Structures are given as C-alpha cells and as structure tokens.
Amino acid sequence: MNHQRSFRDARDVGDGLAASLGRVEGLQSRGELRFDMPGGEGWQRCSDLLEDPARFDTWRKTLGGWLHERHGDSPARTTAGYVMSWYLHVPAYVGALLLHHERRVPSLRPGELAFRLGEDRPHPVAMAVLGEAFYCLPTDPGSALPEATVVPDEHALAAVLRARYIAHAAEFVRAYAPTSRLGKRMLWAGATDALDNCLWWAGKQGGTAETEGAGVADAALVLGTRYAPLTSASTLRVVTDAAGHREWTRRRESCCFSYLLPSEDLCDGCPRTCPKP
C-alpha cells in the first residue's frame, strides 16, 4: 500500500520497534506514544489492572468525581462505560498505528503495554510499549532482527493484529466484567468499537481524504467480517449530509451511557438509535 511505502524506505536497515514508535509518535495527535516506561509516578502496566481489578474501581471513582464536578451526577453505568472504552483504546490504538504507518504489529500483551492518566481528565494521555517483539512483512528492513517474526503478507499481518488484540481484550473482559457489572456481550462490543475506531483514526489523523480512506481500508482488512468473540465486522460506511457532502461514519456496537448524564443526548452512531442493517 503506497501510503506506507515512504516510511519503510526511510528506515535504516535493522531498526527495531523503538524506532518505529519514534516515527509514529509524531504522526498522531491523541497523546504521547513511546517505547519503554519512564520513571516517576502515574504510569501503570495494563497487567497491573488485570491482575488487581480493584484498580478499575479506583479509576472509576476518580472518573465519577470528575463527572460529578462537571455534570452534577456520575451514574455507575457511565463510569463503567467510559473506563471500558478508555482501557481498550490502549491496545487498539497502539496496534492500529503501527499497522497503518509501519506495517508492524507489537505483541500487545498486557505486561508489555503501559499508560498514564491525565491530571485534568482521567483518561489515557500517554501510552508505552515495553517489549521489543514485533511481527512484520518479508520486505521489512528489520525482518532479520531476532525480535521480528515475519508473516507472508498483509492479510496474515492483519490476522496477527486481530488475534493479539482479541487475546488482550479477553483478559480485560474476564477482569472487568465482575467489577463493572457490564455484560460480556457489552464488553466485547466495546472491544469491537475500540479496534474499528482506532484503525479508522490512524488514517483520519493524516488530515486528507486519501489518508482517511487508507485507515478505512485497514479497518476492512482487519475486520472484513465478524470474528467472534468480537461482535461485528467494521461498521464504517459513507453517508451524505444535508449539504450533499459525503463522509465516513460508523455505527457503534457498544453504549458509553453518556446519555445518562444530565443534559446529555445520545451520541451519533449510538446503537440505541442506529439499528443494525
């Protein structure tokens, strides 16, 4: 795919995942992305939360206070829905960005991903990859590195991303379902939304119709059909607004429960108002 070619050609022979992350970090706008976890407070591995689900309760309480200050209320389902989406965004976003820009996929294991919450809003504002292993194509200049696993083509690489993400999401569902009281179907719907959204955003952040279309193409490559336990294929589609402008949108699989907050309406693409075709 041509939109990746310039990044591959610019590499020094033998560069690894740290170099990939350095290049990709400047091509996205949703927070800091880095290799390795810096010292200091605030950072936590994904495995920390999955091994101690009480940490999710702490996160939800912090979020509840933040919502209460701004809306006067913080329903339990809303805090549960927000934390679900925000957590799943971490493995989905890291995987989508590296696939889109570098045609590489990191392991996405919970012990090899970390994030830091923002001080003004308790959502992930920085993400870190902690392991060196990655999957790549035969043409990748880093394919000879010991930490590289080569797959034959882009379809195989998309299958790796899907499998690695689903494995991480399965650990999240097991840990989060009892503490959040969200059903497993809702949690897998949230996992589907996170991956589909992040594949789209990876291209959309380029700011042109061509780059957005490339992100949509990646979503179709990874989620061309439903892969259980994910709840749907990519739901991205083109719509035409009242002025005749065509744009991409998607139908959500999960609900964020923002409508339960005072004075908030249903989101665009909410499954409550956008039935499946």
Residues in the chain: 277
Higher local confidence (pLDDT), 119 or 51: 51
- Among residues 110, 92, 127, which one has the least CA distance to residue 219? 92
Dist CA 107 CA 11 (whole Å): 21
Residue-wise pLDDT tens digits, 78-130? 999 999 999 999 999 999 999 999 999 999 999 999 999 999 999 999 999 99
**Taking the model in full, what pTM does it have?**
0.90
CB atoms within 10 A of CB 225: 9
Dist CA 124 CA 113 (whole Å): 12
Residue-wise pLDDT tens digits, 226-260? 999 999 999 999 988 878 888 898 988 887 776 66
What is the rounded average pLDDT of the residues 32-51? 91
Region for 244 from its dihedrals, namely left if φ exceeds 0, alpha if ψ lies in -120 to 50, beta otherwise: left
Amino acid sitting at position 222: V
Looking at residue 71, its pLDDT comes to: 81
Looking at residue 7, its pLDDT comes to: 38
Percent of the chain topping pLDDT 90: 70
Q: Which segments of 44-136 does DSSP mark as H helices, in order?
A: 46-51, 54-71, 76-102
What is the rounded average pLDDT of the residues 260-267? 67
Characterize the bridge pairing of strands 43-45 and 124-129: unpaired
For 162-188, the three-class secondary structure string (H helix, E strand, C coil) is HHHHHHHHHHHHHHHHHHHCCCHHHHH
Q: How far apart, in Å, do the first and last CA atoms of the chain sit?
A: 30
